[in-house]
Amino acid sequence: MKVLIVGSGGREHALAWKIAQDPKVEAIYAAPGSDGLAQVARSTGLAADDLDALAAFASSQSIDLTVVGPEAPLAAGIVDLFKSRGLRIFGPGKAGAQLEASKAFTKGVLIEAGVPTAAYAEFSSAPEARAFARELGFPCVVKADGLAAGKGVVICANAAEADEAVDSMLEGGRFGQAGARIVVEEFLEGEEASFMALSDGSSVLGLASSQDHKAAFDGDSGPNTGGMGAYSPAPVIDEALHQEILETVIEPTVATLAARGIDYRGVLYAGLMIKDGRPQVLEYNVRFGDPECQPLMMRLESSLVDLMEACIDGTLASSEVRWKPGAAVCVVMASAGYPGSYRKGDVISGLEAAASQPAVEVFHAGTARDEQGRWISTGGRVLGVSASGPDVSKAVDRAYEAVSKIRWDGVHYRRDIAHRAVGRIAAGA
């Protein structure tokens, strides 16, 4: 079969790498693709948001399965368009993708579904939002309703910070239309974890747990990023909690969407805060997390294509998912300046030496080859150096051993990825 992957980051490289191992798959294309992904997927050069061109390509090339990496094409309705043309595609339609594209929509679904989440209210008027923040007390959280590239959430330590966040979004036009409506919510304490599940519209299947590191610097300090590293499994989610999350979070959410006439098929990714062993939902994403997808793909034993097809066909209830024992870790190597404006065009050395380490895969997120065939940095997040191992400590050691081989001017990465999981195991918890 022929597969088209929409997107070109580390997540898409990991998905393509996994799909390429499936004996059924004879060709993989990526849109747009990249020099790094070209190791496993042919670049089409088509923009990930050019939905008509993507559908035309899938038709003319007889693509059997399209897999959408990022949220923007999902929110723009790529799945609805493909389905209307009889093309098979993995992911939710536009209505379901509101779970990521609108925080107010999500909060409404969560409340209706009885899923635990922070107390909140939504606003388009600044004075009311400011007053509500004071009612909640501090810290509180101010969120732009729409897609804001992961930057639309502000944790406010006091009234002055809340006023500034509210005013910048509602009156200052920060985030544009995405911030014309906001959610103000209670601050939750606890440990964050990611829980991804597959859904075929009625049945769900939980994937292995994972955890990412959003802060730019060690010790969870510095600005928020798209994710500086991730690992799976997340020991904070044991088997009992895994089951509880499925029953109290994922299933009621999919059922509530179904009752609203929304047939949710694809990945449902819950960002959770775990406190005293209980999950509360911080947010939903409607696609695989990046970088969380990278350690997940390293651990996935089952055919990803079969699982995605079961979601499309509505046969997930008779599917199961198998994982390699042990753990996997991804360390993101980023450009100087990321997540702010960052350097580009630096020559990267040591990629081959890193990739030849045992149980290591180097997924490319922002690289290209120059005219001389050298690898250069082109993005904020440049590489996801991923490793598996019999336990998280071994996977961490392997990932950092591979990282130590790779260099470019200004590279930065966190040195403490998976520290919580390693600490828990060391403490015998």
Residues that bind ligand GLY (CB under 6 A): 212, 226-227, 285, 289-290, 292
CB of 189 to ligand AMP, least distance (A): 7
Of the candidates 71, 100, 185, 346, which one interacts with ligand AMP according to CB under 6 A? 185
Does residue number 283 form part of the binding site for ligand AMP (CB under 6 A)?
yes
CB of 1 to ligand GLY, least distance (A): 27
CB of 65 to ligand GLY, least distance (A): 22
Rounded to whole angstroms, what are the CA distances from 304 to 58, 67, 90, 243?
20, 11, 11, 22
Of the candidates 271, 336, 355, 425, which one interacts with ligand AMP according to CB under 6 A? 271
The number of angstroms, rounded, from the C-alpha of 240 to the middle of its chain's C-alpha atoms is 24
Nearer to ligand AMP, 66 or 285 (CB): 285
Nearer to ligand AMP, 34 or 117 (CB): 117
Q: Which run of H or E residues covers position 109?
A: helix 103-113
CB of 230 to ligand AMP, least distance (A): 13
DSSP secondary structure, 308-354, as one string:
HHHHHHT-GGG----B-SSEEEEEEEE-TTTTSS----PBPB-HHHH
Does residue number 181 form part of the binding site for ligand AMP (CB under 6 A)?
no
Task: Give φ, ψ of 34 to 5 degrees.
Answer: -160, 170
Q: Alpha-carbon distance 381 to 403, whole Å? A: 14
Nearer to ligand GLY, 51 or 293 (CB): 293
Q: Which residues contact 133 (CB under 8 A, 6 or more apart)?
A: 140, 142, 156, 159, 162, 163, 166, 184
Q: Which stretch binds ligand AMP (CB under 6 A): 158-166, 169-177, 187-195, 300-308?
A: 187-195
Contact assessment for residue 429 and residue 235, using Cβ atoms and an 8 Å cutoff: yes
Q: Which residue is nearest to ligand AMP (CB)?
A: 283
Touching ligand AMP, residues 232-251 (CB under 6 A): none
Nearer to ligand GLY, 289 or 339 (CB): 289
| Percent helix, strand and coil across the chain, each to the nearest 5 | 35, 30, 35
227 binds, among ligand GLY, ligand AMP, none (CB under 5 to 8 A by kind): ligand GLY
Contact assessment for residue 5 and residue 297, using Cβ atoms and an 8 Å cutoff: no
End-to-end CA distance of the chain: 45
185 binds, among ligand AMP, ligand GLY, none (CB under 5 to 8 A by kind): ligand AMP
Rounded to whole angstroms, what are the CA distances from 283 to 64, 153, 196, 249, 352?
32, 11, 12, 11, 38
Nearer to ligand GLY, 100 or 346 (CB): 100
Q: Is the peptide bond before 32 cis (omega within 30 degrees of 0)?
A: yes
**For tokens 């990278």, what's the residue?**
294
141 binds, among ligand GLY, ligand AMP, none (CB under 5 to 8 A by kind): ligand AMP
CB of 400 to ligand AMP, least distance (A): 24
CB of 339 to ligand GLY, least distance (A): 12
Binding mask 210-229 for ligand AMP (x = CB under 6 A): ----x---------------
CB of 184 to ligand AMP, least distance (A): 10
Nearer to ligand GLY, 132 or 363 (CB): 363
Does residue number 282 form part of the binding site for ligand AMP (CB under 6 A)?
yes
DSSP secondary structure, 114-125, as one string:
T--B--EEEES-
Contact assessment for residue 309 and residue 302, using Cβ atoms and an 8 Å cutoff: no
Q: Which stretch binds ligand AMP (CB under 6 A): 14-22, 26-34, 123-131, 185-193?
A: 185-193
CB of 35 to ligand AMP, least distance (A): 30
Burial of 114 (0-12, 13-18, 19+ CB in 10 A): exposed
Nearer to ligand GLY, 233 or 289 (CB): 289
Neighbours of 2 (CB within 10 A): 15
Chain residues binding ligand AMP by CB under 6 A are 118, 141, 143, 153, 155, 185, 187-188, 192, 214, 271, 282-283
